[in-house]
Amino acid sequence: MDEIRKKLSPLQYHVTQEHGTERPFQNEYWDNKKEGIYVDLISGEVLFSSQDKYDSGTGWPSFSKPVSLKNIKEVADASHGMNQIEVRSQRGDCHLGHLFPDGPESTGLRYCINSAALRFIPKEEMAANGYADYLSLFSEK
């Protein structure tokens, strides 16, 4: 844990390792409109695509679905007196945010994710960062 703590800002550590939440509308990606992918801050595993990001009005990045369910863990969370579904990264085992059943019509799901748990890779930098296999997410249909 000390190694992880050294690599992360205090907020990133609090969110990913201590099940924290950042402030709405005051985080890095809530209004990011660029094309690209969102990866786990620690493991680098691909989690979400800008193709599935939408403005939920909550002040956090919201996605209708992950790129692959294999990279996400859903865990029952009864903290704070509420029954919620926590979203964690599979390999990194980092707290990302929560899943709610009030998303867009396409899936009905809202993955409400903390920016502090993510790293954004712009589409034009994906290949150089080792994510060329995911460029097909942005192919013209």
pLDDT of residue 121: 98
Give the Å distances, CA to CA, from 36 to 19, 49, 124: 26, 6, 8
**Distance (Å, rounded) from C-alpha 96 to C-alpha 67?**
14
Q: Is the dihedral of CA 59, 91, 109, 98 positive or negative?
A: negative
Q: For the structural domain made of 2-124, what CATH number should be given?
A: 2.170.150.20
Q: Are the C-beta atoms of 13 and 22 separated by less than 8 Å?
A: no
Per-domain residue ranges of the chain: 2-124
Name the pTM for this structure.
Answer: 0.94
Residue of 46, 87, 112, 126 marked catalytic: 112
Which of 122, 128, 140, 120 minimizes the C-alpha distance to 44? 120
**Distance (Å, rounded) from C-alpha 78 to C-alpha 39?**
26
Bridge-based pairing state of the strands 84-89 and 46-49: unpaired
**Would you write out the chain's pLDDT as a tens digit for each of its 141 residues?**
678 889 999 999 999 999 999 999 999 999 999 999 999 999 999 999 999 999 999 999 999 999 999 999 999 887 767 788 999 999 999 999 999 999 999 999 999 999 999 999 999 999 999 999 999 999 865
Instruction: Verify whether residue 112 is a known catalytic residue.
Output: yes
Q: How many helices (H) and strands (E) does the chain have?
A: 2, 9
